[in-house]
Amino acid sequence: MRILAISGSLRRDSHNSSLLRAAAELLPPGDEIVFWDGLRDVPAYDADEDREPAPAAVASLRAAVGAADAVLFATPEYNHSIPGALKNALDWASRPFATNPFRSKPVAVVGASTGMFGAVWAQAELRKVLGAMGARVADVEIAVGHAAEKFDDAGSLADGDVRAQLAAALATLRAEVDADLLVAA
Ligand SMILES: Cc1cc2nc3c(=O)[nH]c(=O)nc-3n(C[C@H](O)[C@H](O)[C@H](O)COP(=O)(O)O)c2cc1C
């Protein structure tokens, strides 16, 4: 299984990016996680500019999603919603609507915030957006609240409960991918 990991945070010491790195450490041998780091370079969506060739960062996102068996998002919450940069990138990726690379793609959403609720509203909105794009949204939620206390200074996950939840989320995503392969066979 090849998972594309997308963090909704541009911050260098992002807890959400750390969460994705922790997920990568839990993957069984043979599976891999690829990190997409083009978020910062995606221009504001403009339908007049949405033509071939697409802006480089948009093309890289579309290609990376297309090449992945599944996509794992970790999103912060900004003002109870999805960070604008992430939503903007997904708006680009959602076009052309009928053939967008997220269509039927297994996806899972997790999130971390420094507050007590662990980005639950942002996660819910991200799941809604991904569903609208035609993705197969896995029944996964990991709400890492008080994130500053869950990672050590080097950004390593220091919380066994969250680690167990991440392992379960990866198993759920794997089941979605396996179901996908069965349908395709
Ligand atoms: C503009 C902005 C809005 C925020 N709004 C929320 C919020 O609504 N809920 C919340 O739990 N945290 C909120 N936070 C705090 C973030 O959860 C916190 O900065 C978190 O660490 C960001 O994720 P990161 O570590 O992956 O960058 C906000 C932070 C910023 C910068």
Q: Kindly tell me the number of DSSP H helices and DSSP E strands found in the chain.
A: 5, 6
Atom 27 (ligand 1) nearest CA: 14
| DSSP per residue, 79-147 | TTB--HHHHHHHHHHT-SGGG-TTTT-EEEEEEE-SSSSTTHHHHHHHHHHHHHTT-EE-S---EE-SG
How far does residue 76's CA lie from ligand 1's centre (Å)?
6
Around Cβ 93, how many Cβ atoms within 10 Å? 23
The pair of structure tokens assigned to 24 is 């990568």
Separation of alpha carbons 46 and 72, rounded Å: 26
Quick one: average pLDDT of 26-55? 96
Reported pTM: 0.97
The per-residue pLDDT for range 41-71, each reduced to its tens digit, is: 999 999 999 999 999 999 999 999 999 999 9
pLDDT at 130 over 90: yes
* Residue range 169-178, pLDDT digits in tens: 999 999 999 9
- Mutation probe of ligand 1 site: the residue of 78, 86, 110, 120 with most atoms within 8 A of C-beta: 78
The per-residue pLDDT for 183 is: 72
Q: Which atom of ligand 1 is nearest to the CA of 115?
A: 11
